Amino acid sequence: MNEHNNIVRWVIFALLFSWAVYSLIPTYKVYFSSENDMIEKIKTKVEVDKIVMKKKQGEKLTVLENNLFDEFGNDPEYLSLAEGELDKIAEFEKLNQKSLALGLDLQGGMHLVLEINYDQLLKNKAKIKDKQLEDVLASVKAKTGNDKSIYFNQVRNTFSSKSIPLSTYFGKDGDSDDRIIASLDSAAKKGIITTLEVLRNRIDQFGIAEPSIQKRGKHRIIVELPGVKDEERATNLVNRAAFLEFKLVAENEDIQKKFDEIDLVLLGDEKNEDAKETIEAVKKEVVEADTNTTAEDATKLLSGATSDSTDVVLTDSEMIKQHPFKALLIGGRGGEILVKSENKIKINDIVKKDRVRAILGKYEFVWKNKPVILNEEKYYELFLVLNKAELDGTSIVEANASVASGSSSMGGWEVPFELDKPGGRIFADVTGNNIGRRLAIILDGKLFMAPNINSRIPNGRGVITLGGSSATEARDMAIVLKAGALEAPLEIMEKRIIGPSLGTDSIKSGVTASIVGVLLVIVFMVIWYKLSGIFAAIALILNLIFTIATLSYFRATLTLPGIAGMILTIGMSVDANVLIFERIKEELKEKRTVLSAVNAGYEQAFKVIFDANITTFIAGITLYQFGTGPIKGFALTLMIGIMWSMFTAVVLTRLLTDLYVNKNSSKISV
């Protein structure tokens, strides 16, 4: 029976071990392969590239950007990206997504806690802004102190104690206090949600792997930007007001024309470096090729599902040769232009070229805010729009998601919105002149939606119909529309910046401490328990491997306290083995055979191990609940470590002991 159990144990162990190794491969590649330095270099190149662009356009640079420019701006190696370098970044990012994430304290970065500023919110919302209002709000602020949950109650009480009806300042004349408080409260709530969306939309401008923007409680947002080195830029980004614009989408034939022209320019650029005289010939060739393939292009752009399923006459490599730009585009089912996420950066690069910009003229490219997933690949939709905004978001007065009222809409959602008077007039003209075209709604440079203009909208009250879309989508749309006039001002409550060098130092000391810790414990165990000590040591190392694999697999974040937690579990996990070995020693005195002593020892010890570890686990759970970033990491590694230590002690050391006892059934060294 024991034999049979052991076979099961071996199988379980083998499966788990292969899983652990498999989970650790990306982590190994990301952190230990030689590619690491190169990727860093390419990333710096991308950064320098952006800064050069910014400088050209006369934008103001931050201190860090200036430094970077001074350092590399004149270094030809850093000025342009070599062929295929962007691909390498994309590949690396993919791996990175699967590997162990480092916390802010280890890779450096910025942690922000933002809180809605009620005081400012009320001042913004007030109809009249006078001394009396300021006095009342100041006294409310003093009374509420840190407890935001009673803020609105205080507002009501303070106003009524001075017998000022709230409607003097807020809402409509004659509105009851209750009603005004309710509407202010809901404005604050919506404000947080709007800000959340605005920040999410904006923050990936950093190109950091895993920004995290979360709402905490009723009036707080927590932003974590790992790896961000430029604090100034990050703070600007968070503090800046949202910018909403309406722009017309280019018509189809214009889009085709621009695409072709870009291809020509790109081909020209390539050949330019070889020999000038061939340009004409190439152009001719390309024009011919172009006329030959227009039909296929059209099918590719407008009917095909994805590139894999379309039968294109040109092979991929020919396509890239002849249409360096269009080769990157894929036609979606609805005629949309899609780009694989790894090619996004390439397109951005092409669009930055002076000659391409010259071609685009009054047009510009914008990306859709969210990718679509087709066949498990991420695609981004690309739009060509007029670069002049017809209208901006400051004109929007109100926007709300609601269930479509018309009988034809079959329960779809719509977002009615209201513009102020001047905005309404402009909107009437724009919609009147462009019936049938699409109007792009762009927030902070990213397109959220491009609805068709069905008719002239005369009175500044428009409706965006979202056929068959979900409630969330409608709500998001309303949020975006209102983001133009961000209602809730935020203040930074907490800001932590960890420089990258400190992170590197922390990793170094963490690793040193782990290695020294493991070695000492192993030496100790082997001296104390001899052979069994070696078994325990093997269990210990596997425990570490399993813990790190679990962290990688669930994409948990490793922090310095997390490393400390792991080191601590090294010390504590030996406990399970100590309990077992001590128990076996005791049993040996009573039982006749080694085998029965081992069996009894394991069985008895497991009960204790379980009871004792559960309590540490309980402490771990509360710690996880209470803690912020790094502390959570500590709690998590501690809990995972405890779980694996039970497993390795009970399953693995057991297997090794049995293996040994079966061969030398007369003795065991504990």
Partner 1 sequence: MSNNRKIDFVGKRKLAAILSISVILIGVLFIVTQKGLNYNIEFNGGYLMHAGFSKSIDIAELRKTISDNDIKGFQLQEFSDNTANADYETEVIIKVETNDQNVKEIEAKITKALEDKYGREAYEIRQASSIGPKIGEELKDSAIKAIFWSLLFILIYITIKFQFRYGIAAIVALTHDVTITIGILSILGYLFDYEISLSVIAALLTIVGYSLNDTIVVFVRIRENTKKLEGMDFDKMVNVSINETLTRTLLTSLTTLLVVFVLFLFGGEVIRDLSTTLLIGVVVGTYSSIFVASPVVIAWNNMTKKKKRVKKA
DSSP 452: B
**Does residue 191 bind partner 1 (CB under 8 A)?**
no
**Does residue 73 bind partner 1 (CB under 8 A)?**
no
Q: How far is the CB of 20 from partner 1 (least distance, A)?
A: 22
Is 531 within 8 Å of 657 (Cβ atoms)?
A: no
**Does residue 490 bind partner 1 (CB under 8 A)?**
no
**Does residue 489 bind partner 1 (CB under 8 A)?**
no
DSSP 628: -
Query: Which one, 14 or 621, has the nearer CB to partner 1?
Result: 621
The residue to which tokens 């020509």 are assigned:
264
Q: How far is the CB of 524 from partner 1 (least distance, A)?
A: 6
Q: How far is the CB of 63 from partner 1 (least distance, A)?
A: 6
Instruction: Specify the 3-state DSSP secondary structure of 268.
Output: helix
**Does residue 552 bind partner 1 (CB under 8 A)?**
no
The residue to which tokens 């790190």 are assigned:
548
The whole-angstrom separation of Cα 146 and Cα 621 is 27
Of 53, 65, 445, 44, nearest in space to 232 by CA: 65
Query: Which one, 28 or 524, has the nearer CB to partner 1?
Result: 524
The whole-angstrom separation of Cα 197 and Cα 199 is 5
Please count the residues of this chain forming the interface with partner 1, following the rule CB under 8 A. 70
Query: Which one, 42 or 594, has the nearer CB to partner 1?
Result: 594
**Does residue 61 bind partner 1 (CB under 8 A)?**
no
**Does residue 611 bind partner 1 (CB under 8 A)?**
yes
The whole-angstrom separation of Cα 257 and Cα 507 is 53
The whole-angstrom separation of Cα 244 and Cα 402 is 21
Is 438 within 8 Å of 249 (Cβ atoms)?
A: yes
Is 109 within 8 Å of 495 (Cβ atoms)?
A: no
Token pair of 87, please?
């691909």
Of 22, 31, 554, 626, the one binding partner 1 (CB under 8 A) is: 626
Q: How far is the CB of 130 from partner 1 (least distance, A)?
A: 24
Query: Which one, 289 or 631, has the nearer CB to partner 1?
Result: 631
Ramachandran angles phi, psi of 491, nearest 5°: -125, 150
- Measuring CA to CA, how many Å separate 84 from each of 88, 179, 325? 7, 61, 15
**Does residue 630 bind partner 1 (CB under 8 A)?**
yes
The whole-angstrom separation of Cα 234 and Cα 112 is 10
Q: How far is the CB of 32 from partner 1 (least distance, A)?
A: 21
- Measuring CA to CA, how many Å separate 232 from each of 48, 54, 61, 64, 67? 17, 16, 10, 8, 13
Query: Which one, 367 or 634, has the nearer CB to partner 1?
Result: 634
Q: By CB under 8 A, which span of 35-43, 348-356, 444-452, 516-524 interacts with partner 1?
A: 516-524
Query: Which one, 177 or 231, has the nearer CB to partner 1?
Result: 231
Interface pattern 445-484 for partner 1 (x via CB under 8 A): ----------------------------------------
Q: By CB under 8 A, which span of 74-82, 154-162, 457-465, 628-636 interacts with partner 1?
A: 628-636
**Does residue 497 bind partner 1 (CB under 8 A)?**
yes
Contacts of 387 (CB under 8 A, 6+ apart): 247, 362, 363, 364
Q: How far is the CB of 370 from partner 1 (least distance, A)?
A: 32
**Does residue 105 bind partner 1 (CB under 8 A)?**
yes
Q: What's the number of CA atoms in the CB half-sphere (13 Å) around residue 495?
A: 9
Of 197, 575, 587, 658, the one binding partner 1 (CB under 8 A) is: 575
Site for partner 1 in 114-153 (CB under 8 A): 115, 146
- Give the length of the chain: 670
Instruction: Specify the 3-state DSSP secondary structure of 374.
Output: strand
Of 155, 525, 584, 636, the one binding partner 1 (CB under 8 A) is: 525
The whole-angstrom separation of Cα 260 and Cα 264 is 6
**Does residue 63 bind partner 1 (CB under 8 A)?**
yes
Of 331, 423, 424, 510, the one binding partner 1 (CB under 8 A) is: 510
**Does residue 506 bind partner 1 (CB under 8 A)?**
yes
Q: By CB under 8 A, which span of 357-365, 549-557, 595-603, 633-641 interacts with partner 1?
A: 633-641
**Does residue 218 bind partner 1 (CB under 8 A)?**
no
Of 290, 364, 473, 582, the one binding partner 1 (CB under 8 A) is: 582
Is 105 within 8 Å of 506 (Cβ atoms)?
A: yes
| Three-state DSSP string of 581-623 | HHHHHHHHHHCCCHHHHHHHHHHHHHHHHHHHHHHHHHHHHHH
CA 479 to chain CA centroid, nearest Å: 20
Query: Which one, 183 or 514, has the nearer CB to partner 1?
Result: 514
Site for partner 1 in 393-452 (CB under 8 A): none
Query: Which one, 18 or 509, has the nearer CB to partner 1?
Result: 509
Instruction: Specify the 3-state DSSP secondary structure of 170.
Output: coil
Q: By CB under 8 A, which span of 73-81, 355-363, 413-421, 514-522 interacts with partner 1?
A: 514-522
Of 495, 526, 545, 595, the one binding partner 1 (CB under 8 A) is: 495
Contacts of 174 (CB under 8 A, 6+ apart): 167
Query: Which one, 412 or 571, has the nearer CB to partner 1?
Result: 571
Q: By CB under 8 A, which span of 190-198, 267-275, 504-512, 593-601 interacts with partner 1?
A: 504-512
Q: How far is the CB of 498 from partner 1 (least distance, A)?
A: 5
DSSP 217-239: TTTEEEEEEET---HHHHHHHHH
**Does residue 560 bind partner 1 (CB under 8 A)?**
yes
**Does residue 627 bind partner 1 (CB under 8 A)?**
yes
DSSP 380-447: EEEEEEESS-SEEGGGEEEE--EE--SGGGTT-EEEEEEE-HHHHHHHHHHHHHTTTSBEEEEETTEE
* Contact residues for partner 1, defined by CB under 8 A: 63, 67, 105, 113, 115, 146, 231, 492-499, 501-502, 505-506, 509-510, 512-513, 516-517, 520-521, 524-525, 528, 560-561, 564-565, 567-568, 570-572, 574-575, 578-579, 582, 585-586, 607-608, 611-623, 625-628, 630-631, 634-635, 638
